Amino acid sequence: MKNIVWARIDDRLIHGQVMTSWVQYTKGNEIEIVDNEVAEDDFLKMVTTSTAPENVLVRVDNQNDAANYLKGVDDGQRLIVLAKTPDVFLRLIENGVEIKHINLGGMGAKAGRSTLYRNISASADERDTFRELMDKDVKIGIQIIAQDKEVDLSKIL
C-alpha cells in the first residue's frame, strides 16, 4: 500500500497558498488527484496540475486507476490524495484503499448544498456519505490550512 500522509476533500483540488501549506506540513512529495472528469480532459489536467509546487510529482487518475495505484507497493513517496467530494474517498475505501483520516478543506456553495460549517457546504447525500465514512472508522476533520485548529466533523454533523 502506498504511504498516504494526507487525504483532503477540496473542490478546488490544487490551489496556491493552501496546498503549499499542506505540502510543507505533511512533507508530501506526490499528489494523487482522484477525479474522473479531470482525468479524461487533457486541458483540465494541465490547468489543475500547473498550480502544484515544482518539487511535487502530480498524478491525475480516475477512481478505478487511483484505487489500483494507491494499493500498490510503497515506493517511499509521501502521498497527498485530493478529491472534490466525499463519495470519492468512500469508493476508494470500498475498493481496499486504507484511509483513516480525511481533511475536509473546501466544498463551496452550489445548488443542492447548504452550509455545513462556515464556508463549507454539503448536500444531504454528501452528509450521508460523511456518516458512512465515519461508520467505517474514518475520522473527518475540518481544517482549511495546517495552522488552523481541526474541528471534528462528527461533533457538528
pLDDT tens for 69-97 read 999 999 999 999 999 999 999 999 999 99
Question: Domain map of the chain by residue range?
Answer: 4-155
Fold for the domain defined by 4-155: Fructose Permease (3.40.35)
pLDDT tens for 90-112 read 999 999 999 999 999 999 999 99
Q: Say what angle helices 124-135 and 86-94 make with each other, to 10 degrees.
A: 40
Side-chain half-sphere exposure of 71, counting CA atoms within 13 A: 12
Which whole number is the average pLDDT over 117-146?
97
Category of 10 on φ-ψ map: left (φ > 0), alpha (ψ -120 to 50) or beta: beta
List, in sequence order, every beta strand (DSSP E) within 67-109. Answer: 79-83, 101-106
Average of per-residue pLDDT values in the chain: 96
